[in-house]
Amino acid sequence: MTRVSYVEKEQADPGIKEIFQRLEDRGQPILNLFKVMANCPYVGRNFMRLGYSILTGEEVPANIRELAIMRVGLLAQSRYEFTQHVPIGLKCGVRQKQIDDLAKWSKSKEFNDKERAVLQYTDEVAQNIKVKDETFNVLKKYFSDHAIVELTTTIGYYGMVCRILVGLQIDLEGGEKA
């Protein structure tokens, strides 16, 4: 059970209420994560805006983004994060076998060289912050500076998301299985 309250749309700050309404208008659920962030309206609004910016992306292919996000969720032991992104990943072209092998990606044959470069980079940024030159140079073969900044921001943002989810013990939405 969550350590802080869930703010429902009716009780939310006007700016948060507007974001919640836009989500509903697009047929998207108001996630428990968003309801928790609504406790802090200014930060919550900008948190959701940045998350939306990352999910719509610019240069990083959606399947690559989702592999990185799910890997961050696994590393942070955030069942919520991982569970929420499995269907998104599948929709974006991540294969079920890749999801099944993500915890042991370095030994799996399910990932191509580009995906392996992203996962190695994700592991180093998420776990160590510092990235080995060798890892970065391999990543640079596949991505522009723009895409690398976008990927790094994605890894950092979802590391923060996991810290919020795990630290505040945010529940999965009703009926969803972790």
The CATH number for 80's domain is 1.20.1290.10
Closest-CA residue to 173 (of 78, 9, 31): 31
Cβ contact 69:162 at 8 Å: no
Q: Is 105 exposed, middle or buried (0-12, 13-18, 19+ CB in 10 A)?
A: buried
Q: What pLDDT does 174 receive? A: 77
Q: How far from 140 is each of 54, 104, 119, 156, CA to CA, in Å?
A: 20, 23, 13, 18
Tell me the per-residue pLDDT of 59-76, one tens digit each, with 9 for 90 and over.
999 999 999 999 999 999
| pLDDT band of 164, cuts 50, 70, 90 | very high
Domain total in the chain: 2
Q: How far from 150 is each of 97, 133, 161, 162, CA to CA, in Å?
A: 26, 19, 16, 18
Tell me the per-residue pLDDT of 126-139, one tens digit each, with 9 for 90 and over.
999 999 999 999 99
Q: What pLDDT does 175 receive? A: 56
Residue type, 33: L
Do 97 and 133 have their domain in common?
A: yes
Do 46 and 66 have their domain in common?
A: no
Q: What is the DSSP letter of 58?
A: S
Tell me the per-residue pLDDT of 148-162, one tens digit each, with 9 for 90 and over.
999 999 999 999 999
Do 50 and 136 have their domain in common?
A: no
pLDDT at 29 over 70: yes
Q: What pLDDT does 27 receive? A: 95
| Stated pTM of the model | 0.95
- Domain extent for 81: 62-167
Summarize the confidence of residues 79-86 as an average pLDDT: 96
